[in-house]
Amino acid sequence: MMEKLAVVALGGNAILRGSEEGTIEQQEQNSTDTLENLVYLIKDGYNLVITHGNGPQVGNILMRNDAGQQLYKIAPMPLDICVADSQGGIGYMLERMMRNILNKHGIQKNVITLVTLVEIDQNDPAFQNPSKRIGKIYMKEEADKLAHEKSWIFKPTGKVNGGFRRVVPSPTPLKIINKDMIETLVRAGNIVIAAGGGGIPVYYDETGNLRTLDAVIDKDMASSLLAVNIEADELYILTDVPFIFKDYGLPTQEKLEFLNYADTVKHLENGTFAEGTMEPKIRACLNFIEKGGKKSVITEATKLEDRSYGSKITMNYDNY
């Protein structure tokens, strides 16, 4: 059987769901339930790189930052360290759960987690318009105080009396720094967990040294870039819906199961996909296909058992 290489991006609900407290037991169970479905890909001859989100977890780390500083005068860590913390913690959890699943199925594979740096442009236009909400919700008085003390930028949550959250730039990822190592490991048959939370944003200064800025990279765009960088065959974005839908939630809702590149671009230009939810996933899939990927799939993890499920984006329909 010829081995194929796929990047699988786990959505936030794969680890922590909105109604949950977020205990480690809940996160471990959610992770196990999601990762169990990847066995179907492994048995079908795929080598896998797994990426993941970190929104709730990095938000909790930032809250611990605030509490430690206020109560115990513990020096707070910058955002890049918080992202690295979440990569290590979530990656360790996913690795352990994945190893247990492989043991259950009698599959002999190594699993390795890599804290991943991702190159960005320090002059990316996103730095002029911070938009990615992170951390806890503050009331206006507290948000104004922090904005004055720390030069943080806040925006309303968008909900009535919903308070304010800190926003940071979300620059375009340019290159996965350790892409060669990731590709070497995965093509040797190892399962690699990488680019968690979109990776840690870094740039090279005029001396060639790596520097960082307060920013959060979109997880799906980083996953798409990683798939391009390592010449993966397929990109899977696992979310909480089994298909892409046109006009999701409206009376005109329509399932879109098979899409080619040109039609998907038209749908995107027409505003078919929900901004901030499905739209970034579509853009990530298109980026992968445009740069040589064979197929992008957006679906629910539980649908991987039946390979006919999920919305598939290709350059054309020749594969069907």
Residues annotated as catalytic are 12-13, 132, 219, 281
Q: Please provide the DSSP assignment of 260-279 as one string.
A: EHHHHHHHHHTT-SPTTTHH
Give the rounded distance of the alpha carbon of 76 from its chain centre: 25
The two three-digit tokens of residue 223, written as one number: 């996953």
- Identify any residues that bridge with 118 across adjacent strands, giving them in sequence order: 176, 201
Return the SS3 of 291. Answer: coil
Strand 117-119 with 175-176, pairing: antiparallel
The secondary structure of residue 75, as a DSSP letter, is P
Count other Cβ atoms within 10 Å, centred on residue 234. Answer: 20
Angstrom CA distances, 92 to 56, 144, 244, 292, stand at 17, 37, 31, 31
The set of residues, in sequence order, having a beta carbon less than 8 Å from that of 201 and lying 6+ positions away, is 80, 118, 120, 171, 173, 212, 213, 215, 216, 217
Angstrom CA distances, 120 to 94, 106, 172, 174, stand at 26, 41, 6, 5
Question: Nearest-CA neighbor of 226 among 81, 42, 54, 51?
Answer: 51
Which residue is listed with tokens 């236009």?
125
User: What is the enclosing helix (H) or strand (E) of 208?
Assistant: none
Q: Please provide the DSSP assignment of 116-179 as one string.
A: -EEE--TT-GGGGS--EEEEEEE-HHHHHHHHHHH--EEEE-SSTT--EEEEE--PPP-EETTH
